[in-house]
Structure 1
């Protein structure tokens, strides 16, 4: 009887061991997203990246997971990456320039793992790292074109700082407005765009005061770039009937009924595309790619926009025109020149554009 009990005990222990092994196998993940320290469902970058990872995993029948670092910093990001690799990750996705150091260090240590990083400005990348960026110039162009096509001729742009992304949003916005005014055959210099980037001694109180002033003097919509800047302008627009705000980077329609549209980066799509390339063996690292209108890398989502005149067919038409002739959107100047110009006066800013319909005012 004792021997029988021993045999049963051994068999139970073996069964438990096999079960643990099976669980360990199930915990291996093909694709892993390392979030920032925010919530995965932040309705911003974390959500957008995770949607892309999950869609890829569902379509290709593989496992995926996300890890949230305990705190910010390259040390903690690297720990999260190491944990993902220990669980069998073949591809790791991260977002933001703050991840660059940790990703490069990990890529050099585990050269058989592929890394995809969004919005990383590092130029010298290991061969297993792909940096994905987006043409905010193109995204801004669509926002400007749609705004004027919707009947708005008094516009504004507020940026929290003159970063490359925000400057290009602004430059694209101006060019898109000019093109729409030309297509509509509006009168010469009939569209006004007020432009402002926060100075180092300014804060969100200045953003609020400026938005109030602009709306009270006829500005119909303000393109606001920067998390706090957007939230402030949206709040002001809510309190001013007939005033609108335009968001940047990701969908902002959930924030307020005053959100006209969002100039979005197609983050989910680009993550899906990169992971699919890892899966089919066509992945090429050691480089940066920038997706724009031509690659469906930026967009306006008309279903979540509140245009009254600008239609889906209008949107589809301008997309096809730009794809056929990418020179319609021009970078015009270098990023360093642009930063100097946008912090100058309106004559300097106007001088770099060949404008017939748009007047620019810096404030």
Structure 2
């Protein structure tokens, strides 16, 4: 499919980066590019930091790639605590050290960016997965801010549909923190599972889904325990939707000879347990937005990356499917693009839940 070529090329680039680096950073991919200890492009992360194999890494890879190709400086700041104060200090430190573009990945930065965009009108802010929002829920995007949103529900749908068509019936979903982007992944996953089950004429007793939010994006024993509990109860595949939390799930999948659906970028090379990944074009969207800023593009806008913009894809190139083929994927992709299949996001899907009666869902709090 020619319309997917652009995304596939980016996916290849990301995969090459993942193959050639690890948590030890043997090739220097995580090294900042500084001039007089200053950098004009800055990534701000919360305590999760880099080397999450997911969202933060894909954001940084785009920044580093742009800086190398365009002779720019770049660095990153990891907040010390899970507080707005700590995140604010990271942003202010980056600006003191010369940042002209500040990139914040994640919903947890929405209130802070709302304030910072007004305090620092000469600094450009790129906010991923969220809108600048005040304490009362009011949204305001200044001319120096770019809000990038993704249609994660479409990626989740592709993953859920494919995994049922592949033959799996005992499924799991582990979301990180219950924020809109993660909820969209999960709700899309449910819709895809349900639609595939309908096409296969499966009954409610045939498909079982354990669904939970773990409350963090971290690789830790608590998340290992949750994954182990799912796998030991008979779950065959878990959609691990939460940054470094995926490492915890993959280790347990290896222990139980089970499978994982990766998230954000291709995670096939992190573990052989990853059967596919529900991908959104984080690196491409960040790279393009940085490039547009340097070209004089004005902010004050929300940029949506969905399937129509080649921003969403299921990782088929590195998948470990036996039965779900590229042709199956392409047909499904076209059905969504044409409007034959409508995938609802989190704001519209809640009322549709009562209509999903053909799968058994166990919501775990």
Q: TM-score, normalised by structure 2?
A: 0.72
Report the counterpart of residue 341 of structure 1 in structure 2.
Answer: none
Question: Where does the alignment leave 5 or more consecutive residues of structure 2 unmatched?
Answer: 1-33, 134-138, 216-221
Alpha-carbon offset, residue 333 of structure 1: 5.7
Query: What is the CA deviation profile of residues 240-298 of structure 1, one whole-angstrom value per residue up to 9, with x for unaligned ones?
Result: 34x3121333443344322212223321111012112212223332x434422222223
Report the counterpart of residue 14 of structure 1 in structure 2.
Answer: none
CA distance in 1: counterparts of 2:60 and 2:249, whole angstroms: 28
> Does residue 1:236 correspond to 2:252, yes or no?
yes
SS in structure 2 of the partner of residue 302 of structure 1 = coil
Is the Cα contact below 8 Å between 2:51 and 2:57 reproduced in 1? yes
Please give the root-mean-square deviation of Cα atoms over the aligned residues, in Å.
3.4
Is the Cα contact below 8 Å between 1:208 and 1:232 reproduced in 2? no
- Count of residue correspondences: 315
Report the counterpart of residue 65 of structure 2 in structure 1.
Answer: 55
CA distance in 2: counterparts of 1:276 and 1:231, whole angstroms: 32
Report the counterpart of residue 337 of structure 2 in structure 1.
Answer: 323
Query: What is the CA deviation profile of residues 83-138 of structure 1, one whole-angstrom value per residue up to 9, with x for unaligned ones?
Result: 44455443221222343444333321331221101123522232311222222211
Is the Cα contact below 8 Å between 1:93 and 1:116 reproduced in 2? yes
Report the counterpart of residue 359 of structure 1 in structure 2.
Answer: 359
Alpha-carbon offset, residue 70 of structure 1: 5.9
CA distance in 1: counterparts of 2:202 and 2:121, whole angstroms: 58
Is the Cα contact below 8 Å between 2:126 and 2:147 reproduced in 1? yes
CA distance in 1: counterparts of 2:66 and 2:340, whole angstroms: 29
Query: What is the CA deviation profile of residues 46-96 of structure 1, one whole-angstrom value per residue up to 9, with x for unaligned ones?
Result: 32111111233344x240311324623444444443444455443221222
Alignment of 1:1-363 (within 5 A): 29-59=39-69, 61-69=70-78, 71-72=80-81, 73-121=83-131, 122=133, 123-159=139-175, 162-181=178-197, 185-189=199-203, 192-197=207-212, 204=223, 205-215=225-235, 220-226=236-242, 230-241=246-257, 243-285=258-300, 287-325=301-339, 328-331=342-345, 334=348, 337=350, 349=353, 351-353=354-356, 358-362=358-362
CA distance in 2: counterparts of 1:158 and 1:69, whole angstroms: 25
Is the Cα contact below 8 Å between 2:129 and 2:181 reproduced in 1? no
CA distance in 1: counterparts of 2:143 and 2:291, whole angstroms: 17
Is the Cα contact below 8 Å between 1:174 and 1:193 reproduced in 2? no
Q: TM-score, normalised by structure 1?
A: 0.72
Question: Where does the alignment leave 5 or more consecutive residues of structure 1 unmatched?
Answer: 1-23, 339-347
